[in-house]
Copies of this chain bind each other. A is one copy, B any other.
Amino acid sequence: MPTDPAATAPAEPATPELLHQGITFPEGLALDCGAVIAPMTVAYRTYGTLNADHSNAVMVCHALTGDQYVAEPHPITGKPGWWEAVVGPGKPVDTDRFFVICANVLGGCMGSSGPREEKPGAGGQPWGTDFPSITIRDMVRAQKMLVDRLGIARLLAVIGGSMGGMQVLEWAATFPDMVFAAAPIATAPHHSAQNIAFDEVGRAAIHADPDWMAGRYWEDGRIPARGLSVARMMAHITYLSEQALSRKFGRRLRGASALTFLEDVFEVESYLRHQGSTFVNRFDANSYLTITRAMDYFDLSAEHGGNLAAAFKGTRTRFFVASFDSDWLFPTSESRALVRALNAAAANVSFVEIASDKGHDAFLLHEPEFHAALGGFLRGAAERAGL
């Protein structure tokens, strides 16, 4: 069962039905773009127990469409937490040993300040597209305020995959003394041109939906479900390898006859449509626009004068970099570039490329070799930290 060491006031509800645990910071947060979000709320969940000297905390950072419900049923879908394969009692991130924190990212739609939350001083209206442009670093700054508030001076580890991995890198680069160990997984130090292009198509699909209404869909209680669904369907293809798609569906037809004009003749189509339509019930379109932009802006090297190694200069953080060989969205070559930069900074870094044919999604799935490596890294880090 999740436990929470800090007695905090609940955040504003994300939706009328749902109340997320969180902390509201009246002083707010100054963003990279120059705007200030005040007050600012960070919704979060914790698992396990914080030890007496507050030295066993592990921050888990979620990916684009993830949220803080890492290791418990999702409050909207009722499905298991998104990383129950990794986080829990006796799991690689062992909640019998570690105190795990996961915050909904700034700009998200599960209780942290974001486009769906109330805009301060706007008479109860949500931010919508008035929500400022945010960066991965802004997300991490918000998490840092949470960690400070929880009374944790140093995180034993920061862990995350995909966009979660980008946050891990920002944590290590921006707050190096607060990060004893860092595990950026299936990620990259910047978004590639291809990744940006796919994101742009997803955003164009949302903009193309008349129910988007220039971002003010909430005024009429609408959601741009068709556009968001198309964006999700396309993104889902990029999360899977060709092998995974083939194994799951091959070219199997749903009906008896191939030559009809049905809308979902191939099983893969039916599956993708399902992915798209279930997604719109739990995710906010303006959040999707905001967060994909933050990923596209992310360029750790550019933040450090074009020198990626400079981001990690003098670091004492222990790094565990992992990639999956069938991941074509964040290919191993990008993890290798990261490792080279860490080596150039004389960092303590281990790197593993996991053999898997599941594509980018592998980091979320049953991958025993990956789990063993990550668990081993964490146990080693804990030992070095004197736990």
How far does the alpha carbon of A351 sit from the alpha carbon of B306 in the complex, in Å?
43
Is there an interface contact between B197 and A259, defined as CB atoms closer than 8 Å?
no
Given that A233-B200, A259-B32, A293-B261 are contacting pairs, would A208 and B193 also be in contact in the complex, using a CB cutoff of 8 Å?
no
How far does the alpha carbon of A251 sit from the alpha carbon of B73 in the complex, in Å?
38
Complex: chain B residue closest to A132, CB-CB: B261
- A65 on interface, CB distance cutoff 8 Å: no
Is there an interface contact between A297 and B259, defined as CB atoms closer than 8 Å?
yes
Most B-side CB within 10 Å, residue of A210, A259, A272: A259
Interface size on A, residues (CB 8 A): 57
Is there an interface contact between B193 and A272, defined as CB atoms closer than 8 Å?
no
How far does the alpha carbon of A191 sit from the alpha carbon of B273 in the complex, in Å?
19
- A310 on interface, CB distance cutoff 8 Å: no
- A249 on interface, CB distance cutoff 8 Å: yes
- A49 on interface, CB distance cutoff 8 Å: no
How far does the alpha carbon of A240 sit from the alpha carbon of B194 in the complex, in Å?
9
How far does the alpha carbon of A297 sit from the alpha carbon of B258 in the complex, in Å?
7
Contacts of A250 in B (CB 8 A): 193
Contacts of A200 in B (CB 8 A): 233, 266, 268-269, 272-273
Contacts of A299 in B (CB 8 A): 251
Complex: chain B residue closest to A263, CB-CB: B207
Copies in the complex: 2
Contacts of A150 in B (CB 8 A): none
Complex: chain B residue closest to A209, CB-CB: B208
Query: Shortest CB–CB separation between residue A37 and chain B, in angstroms?
Result: 14
How far does the alpha carbon of A37 sit from the alpha carbon of B238 in the complex, in Å?
38
- A373 on interface, CB distance cutoff 8 Å: no
Contact partner of A192 (CB less than 8 A), chosen from B132, B208, B210, B246, is B246
- A242 on interface, CB distance cutoff 8 Å: yes
Could you write out 18 A-B pairs with CB less than 8 Å apart?
A192-B245, A193-B249, A193-B250, A194-B240, A194-B246, A196-B251, A198-B237, A200-B273, A203-B263, A204-B273, A204-B276, A205-B208, A208-B209, A210-B210, A251-B299, A251-B302, A258-B297, A328-B328
In the complex, the 5 A-B pairs of residues with the closest C-beta atoms, listed nearest first:
A208-B226, A33-B259, A193-B245, A200-B269, A194-B242
